[in-house]
Structure 1
Amino acid sequence: MNEGPVIGGLTAGGAAAGSVAGIAGRSAASGRTVWRWPGMAGAALALIATVYAHVAAGHVDPMTTLISDYALLDTSALALVCGTIMLAIGSVWVAYGLAQVDPARSAAARVLFIAGAVGLLLTAAFTTDAAPGTMSAGGEIHRWSAAVVFTALPCAGWMLGKRFRSPALSVVSVLSVVFLATFLAAHPGSLVSDLIHGPEYYGLVQRLLVLSDATVVFLAAMSLGESHGGGKGGEDGEGIVLPLRRRTGTGGPSGEAGASPLLSTAMRPALGIAVQSASRGAAAVQSPASNVTSPCLPMGLGSA
């Protein structure tokens, strides 16, 4: 009996089942999603609150003053603090969502989003100094916390843009870095501030920087609702599904020829019939041999 094709078919059928199971497992793993609206809502509400703070402040010049100055006014302080907290909540939600949809390769981005959220909460808790020349502990905490926010969020957005192949997220992150560099150069006290007339517009640059950072959180939260399988087996920590290899009559692989998993699955009933037929044929061959006397058979083939 030639058992090579039957055993090879059974091997291909088993491998096809493993391939189908591996593909199904990969789809289930990459299909994990979380609610994205809390992060998106946090960023959107932060922008709405900031706009309301601008309107409520009234007489503050957005070109030459900072957003932090709105926290010093009774009419706009509450709106600005609430908006800052909402953006922090959105950042925390993005970090939580990344831990659900991409826990293996988003650790750095999660840390940056958490750092940005902590920085936002500190800027809300500690207001800036009222007078330009005044230096206080609370004012220093506010300034350094803002520096963490403006640095962490663009970096996290850039990482996610590359990881999730999101051009919009990457572009907004780059714009945020450009706004940050411009703001630092135009801020009063920098070496080139007077050369580029920075005090005349550095407040506007900071508002664009805040807008870009809130947009980074919004787009990052939006990406949580999408499936990111990576496109390659094993890239996200999952098992690699190897292709089946068709066997020759000698039982070895036939080079680059491969068997389709779907074809192997369809051949399972036929393989089962082939196995049963082979078993019956083997029994039919052995039955006449038992009726022949030992002298008529070659040595070793007679009945015991």
Structure 2
Amino acid sequence: MPGTRSSGLLALGGIALAAVLTVVGHLEVNDNLNPWSLTVSDFAVSDRGGVIDTAMAVLAAATLVLLPALRRAGAGRLAGALLVAWSAGLMAAAVVPTNEPGLPMDAAAYVHRYASVVAFLALPVAGWLLARRLGGRAAGWVRGLVLTSLVLAAAMVWSAYPGDRLLIGLAERLLILAEVALLAVVAGILVRREIGEVAVPRLRDHPHLTELAVPARQREVTPARGA
């Protein structure tokens, strides 16, 4: 389906642009910020409305571009809703800033934190559900990235609470890398039209194709007994 491939290509372009903007955002910040101990949000708040916030918005938009194509491919409503939750979480985190590093958290910082938590958890679950629609290596890659994301999310939670923020910046960046890679794999599958029902219409949606699915020898008319 041309529309499906176009959606996949557009999403891949958005993902690539978001990645470039994030790298630029890290290069342009104050040298006193440590990427190992500070989160991406800590970098973004030092440049409100800058390239990192823009990168989050672009990534959210790239995800939404995939939704119609995934629906056509037979993805369930729950997977679509989780992808919307991921996009909404990214947009909220981009619009509502966290607090400056070292300052006590205010209401906006809590909104930012829990919007990020929703996003980080929604995408892996959506990926696991989408993997059921894939075949071969594609499903394996998606499931592997889902499990990697969940392990890294657990490491980030440990660092944020009992770990006294030890290497929280590293854990978060690895988590983001795994989740963006997951999204890119899904988009790449749509480009290659490897989701089972993208290329093959569902018979229940096209009754006139049912006959074609029956082997020719079974469609032969059996002579009436005694004829």
Is this contact kept in 1: 2:134–2:196, CA < 8 A? no
Match of 1:71 among 44, 56, 60: 44
Match of 2:73 in 1: 101
1:122 aligned partner: 92
Number of residue pairs matched by the alignment: 213
CA displacement 1:251-296 (0-9 Å, x = unmatched):
79xxxxxxxxxxxxxxxxxxxxxxxxxxxxxxxxxxxxxxxxxxxx
The structure-2 alpha-carbon separation of the partners of 1:41 and 1:222, relative to structure 1 and needing over 3 Å to count, comes to same
Whole-Å Cα distance in 2 between the matches of residues 147 and 32 of structure 1? 32
> Does the 8 Å contact 1:84/1:124 carry over to 2?
yes
Find 2:151's aligned residue among 174, 178, 200. Answer: 178
Q: Give unpaired runs (5+ residues) of structure 1.
A: 1-29, 253-304
Q: Does the residue aligned with 1:199 lie in a helix, a strand or coil?
A: coil
Q: Which amino acid aligns with 2:4?
A: T
Tell me the distance in 1 between the aligned counterparts of 2:49 and 2:176.
17
Alpha-carbon deviation of 1:229? 3.5
Residues 1-304 of structure 1 aligned to structure 2 (within 5 Å)? 33-35=4-6, 36-57=8-29, 58-74=31-47, 78-102=50-74, 105-165=75-135, 166=138, 167-187=140-160, 190=161, 192-193=162-163, 199-225=165-191, 226-229=193-196, 237=205, 239=207, 240=210, 241-243=213-215, 244=218, 246=220, 247-248=222-223, 250=225
Higher helix share: 2
Alpha-carbon RMSD? 2.7
Shift of 1:59: 2.9
> Identity across aligned pairs (percent)?
24
Q: Contact 2:156/2:168 (CA < 8 Å) preserved in 1?
A: yes
Structure number with greater Rg is: 1
Q: Distance between the aligned counterparts of 2:10 and 2:41, measured in 1?
A: 25
Contact 1:62 1:203 in 2 (8 A): yes
Which SS does the other structure have where 1:164 is aligned?
Answer: coil
Structure 1 runs (4+) deviating above 6 angstroms are: none
Q: State whether residues 46 and 214 of structure 1, in contact with CA within 8 Å, keep that contact through their aligned partners in structure 2.
A: no
C-alpha deviation, 1:213, in angstroms: 1.5
**Preserved contact between residue 93 and residue 113 of structure 2 (Cα < 8 Å):** yes
Give the Cα–Cα distance (whole angstroms) in 2 for the partners of residues 38 and 31 of structure 1: 12
CA distance in 1, matches of 2:73, 2:150: 27
Amino acid at match of 2:195: H
Task: Measure how far apart 1:110 and its partner are.
Answer: 1.1
- Per-residue deviation, residues 154-183 of structure 1 (Å, max 9, x unmatched): 111122122112221221121111111111
